[in-house]
Chains A and B, each alone.
Chain A
């Protein structure tokens, strides 16, 4: 159960007609560092074509460019991050992050950690975890480059986070996933349904562990860049039934989450999740969760 035809047929059954796409390069301006610096004009002065992304507050598409967006002085000074457009959505979905202890459970390479810090005015606390030492180096370089002062990083598997004995009011679960063909040209030859199911199991374990650390009235944002419903809607359906979580309305780009997956009916509230089929962005899935009222 693998191969391009197999997956394309699944997407068709889910209501989407496959078309080959490649996600556009995007940047996100780090407000804490770039405030008052008129960064878009500075970059245009260097020969970088920029186009405001209509569904993001601080995001720009990068068009033709005389220089590499990852090698300008402005990038090295942390004035902006290179961050795929759909990947800029999850951190922006939390309601008021300021003064809320936050957890970024699968943090490397750090784009979303930096974004969370930026939304928190670089104050308060973010606990950022990752388990891979090489990825931790990328994460900490990112934090240093962007002058982040409110994050603490542990080399820890997200499935063990309750061992920190901390409660968080905002938890970002941008979980490890199977990815999608728009950001990996070899995706169809690399992935099988078995990989998807294995990832879905790990994602459920991370969700279950995160709930143990969620403060009363706290929020979880769950996201993947997978198009496979096992990692998306079906995991959220499982979380609703097993972790006493409920889906919250979010206002962002994307189609309604699927409630009929290959003939299986899922909880109706999953329609409030957002599924982004690849077009200008890569594929993405995002969902905001809270505890059901009256649940410990």
Chain B
């Protein structure tokens, strides 16, 4: 539980999780619904909504968990179509592709990266300013994007 709430706080988000339905297995966290809680034995391979894993002391969120953060107040940047595509391809974000910023603009903080449709594409670390003058500078460094699904199986 602690890695999840600690990670959420890096986005300025507070998240309420019912510990009764969170299962940790091999340092991976899953959210189970009441019906699954009844049928999930200890030897499952995967269960319910995968939330993320801890590896070498670092929490790696799942996209499910990022989506949960996106519905509560959190640092967000909203991208135009072209920047959204480049982000999915693993690229960092230049100021010019960012349509909107919500929450913290402090360097070193994390921000969820959203497309124009309000869908979460991943997250990044704020590394530059958001002033229009810095249009050609990297504002957010890509940490994780949904293109990861392709790279995993590639």
Contact = CB atoms under 8 A, between A and B. Distances in A.
| A and B associate in one complex | yes
Interface in B1-47: 31-33, 35-36, 38-41, 43-47
A164 B40 CA distance: 10
B88 interface: yes
Interface stretch (B103-111, B114-122, B124-132, B133-141): B114-122
Interface stretch (A3-11, A122-130, A171-179, A193-201): A122-130
Nearest to B87: A73
A22 interface: no
Contacts of B146: 73, 76-77, 145
B64 A147 contact: yes
Interface stretch (A80-88, A133-141, A231-239): A133-141
Q: Is the interface of B mostly helix, strand, loop or mixed?
A: mixed
Nearest to B32: A152
A138 B152 CA distance: 9
B35 A101 contact: yes
Interface string A152-184: 111100000000101000000000000000000
A69 B117 CA distance: 19
Interface in B32-67: 32-33, 35-36, 38-41, 43-50, 62-64, 67
Given A77-B119, A127-B39, A153 B44 contact: yes
Contact of A149 (B31, B44, B152): B31
23 contacts: A70-B150, A71-B150, A73-B115, A73-B119, A76-B150, A101-B35, A124-B35, A125-B35, A127-B39, A136-B45, A136-B46, A137-B153, A138-B153, A141-B149, A144-B149, A147-B64, A149-B31, A149-B33, A150-B33, A150-B36, A150-B48, A152-B47, A153-B46
B46 A73 contact: no
Contact of A73 (B36, B40, B67, B84): B84
Looking at chain B, what size class is its interface with the partner chain?
Answer: 20 to 34
B45 A153 contact: yes
Interface string B76-101: 00000000110010000000000000
A147 B119 CA distance: 13
Contacts of A145: 63, 146, 149
Given A73-B146, A76-B150, A147-B67, A125 B46 contact: no
A152 B46 contact: yes
A152 B121 contact: no
Interface residues of A, number: 31
A148 to B, nearest CB: 8
B45 A154 contact: yes
B138 to A, nearest CB: 21
Contacts, number: 89
B50 A166 contact: no
B48 A152 contact: yes
A19 interface: no
Nearest to B43: A154
B31 to A, nearest CB: 7
A35 interface: no
A73 B88 contact: yes
Given A141-B149, A141-B152, A152 B40 contact: yes
A123 B35 CA distance: 8
A220 interface: no
Q: Which 8 A-B pairs have the closest CB atoms?
A: A76-B146, A149-B49, A153-B46, A125-B35, A152-B47, A140-B46, A153-B45, A152-B40
A151 B152 CA distance: 21
Contacts of B43: 154
Contacts of B35: 101, 123-125, 150
Contacts of A137: 153
A147 B64 CA distance: 6
Contacts of A144: 50, 62-64, 149
